[in-house]
Amino acid sequence: MNKKIIFIVLAIIVLVFAVLFFQQSSEKPVTEDPAKRPDQIGDVVKANNQFTLDFYKEIKDEEENIFFSPYSLSIALAMTYEGARGKTAEEMRSVFYFPQEDGFRRDSYFNLHNHLVREETEHELNISNALWAQEGFSFLQEYFDVITANYHGLIENLDFAGDPEGSIETINQWVEEKTKG
């Protein structure tokens, strides 16, 4: 019962944050480009909120506390979605409620990231995203470009099969650097 109350309180906080976020962000543009406005991120925020509620329903457990970052899951899987095609892309989009139009979705994530990590606030928030794949797997340059330009993400190849410990060490060092220890 306590976990349900905690979840309801957290959900209310998320909704209040979203309302305040939109009120505040509608007053100021996020980027220098006037064509990219903060109100554009509304669909991505709504999609993330809906995914969060769906995900929580699936993972909730009466015996354990749960903590996860819906934004981290959403952006990591949005980056993955950029490489999906056909039925896989369709299923991912339906589960994560991603906006279908590529340019709109990409601009929305770009603007949301910029809004969250802007420097003119009293807080410091760092967001880092990376995709790690088995060495020898080649990504299309177009995919690299989309991930770095729109999601501020990194894509790296590691030898998980031949050097799992080295791969773990590389990822852990990257995380330690990005999280400042």
State the pTM of this model: 0.69
Q: How many CB atoms lie within 10 A of CB 66?
A: 13
Tokens of 91: 């299923």
8-31 as b/e: b if 16+ CB within 10 A? eeeeeebeeeeeebeeebeeebbe
- Do 46 and 97 meet the contact criterion of CB atoms below 8 Å apart? yes
What is the rounded distance in angstroms from the CA atom of residue 77 to the CA atom of residue 23? 27
- pLDDT 10s digit of each residue in the chain, 181 long? 445 444 443 444 443 334 334 333 333 333 344 344 555 678 888 888 888 899 888 888 778 888 888 888 889 999 999 999 999 999 999 998 888 889 889 998 998 888 888 888 888 888 899 999 999 998 899 998 999 999 999 999 999 999 999 999 999 999 999 988 8
Task: Report the candidate in 107, 104, 159, 98 with the shortest Cα–Cα distance to residue 133.
Answer: 159
